[in-house]
Amino acid sequence: MDEAKITLPEAQQMVDQWIKTIGVRYFSELTNLAILTEEVGELARIMARTYGDQSFKKSDEGKDLGDEMADVLWVLICLANQTGVDLNEAFLKNIEKKTLRDSERHKNNEKLK
């Protein structure tokens, strides 16, 4: 089965359309920031139990790592839409910044060898 692929602009449009047709309206930016923090916490919990030293609890059953990451992405896209950020453009600029800044930094890091 071929999985659908979407671009960042398409994802931003999909979230916006969903919010406007099913979600009624965007939560305020500050509410979405709080929700983002909550979602990152849920992701951290699953990461700590899956890859860290913590053991799973009964309440962790049924949690899916990909779904938790998608929740984080969803709220981040909401915030981008609300604040007028083009995530595609921002991401490409961020990669360029990191490439220029870190072109030799990580190669010379003894901790990474």
How much is the average pLDDT of 84-88? 98
The pTM of this model reads 0.88
What is the residue-averaged pLDDT of the chain? 93
Is 100 a domain residue?
A: no
48 in any annotated domain: yes
In a domain, 58, yes or no: yes
Res. 111 pLDDT band, cuts 50 70 90: confident
Mean pLDDT, range 3-18, rounded to an integer: 95
Structural domains in the chain (count): 1
The answer to whether the CB of 65 falls within 8 A of the CB of 46 is yes
Inform me whether the pLDDT recorded for 1 exceeds 60.
no
18's enclosing H/E stretch is helix 8-21
CA pair distance 38, 79, nearest whole angstrom: 14
pLDDT over 90 at 97, yes or no:
yes
Residue 32 lies in a domain: yes
Does residue 106 sit within a domain?
Answer: no
Of all helices (H) and strands (E), which one includes residue 33?
Answer: helix 29-50
DSSP 61-106: TT--HHHHHHHHHHHHHHHHHHHT--HHHHHHHHHHHHHHHHTTTT
* pLDDT of the residue at 83: 98
Return all residues near 46 (Cβ < 8 A) that are at least 6 apart: 60, 63, 65, 68
Residue 2 pLDDT > 70: no
Could you tell me the residue range of the domain that residue 74 belongs to? 8-86
* 59, 16 contact by CB (below 8 A): no
Predicted confidence (pLDDT) at residue 45 exceeds the cutoff of 60: yes
Which CATH number covers residue 64? 1.10.287.1080
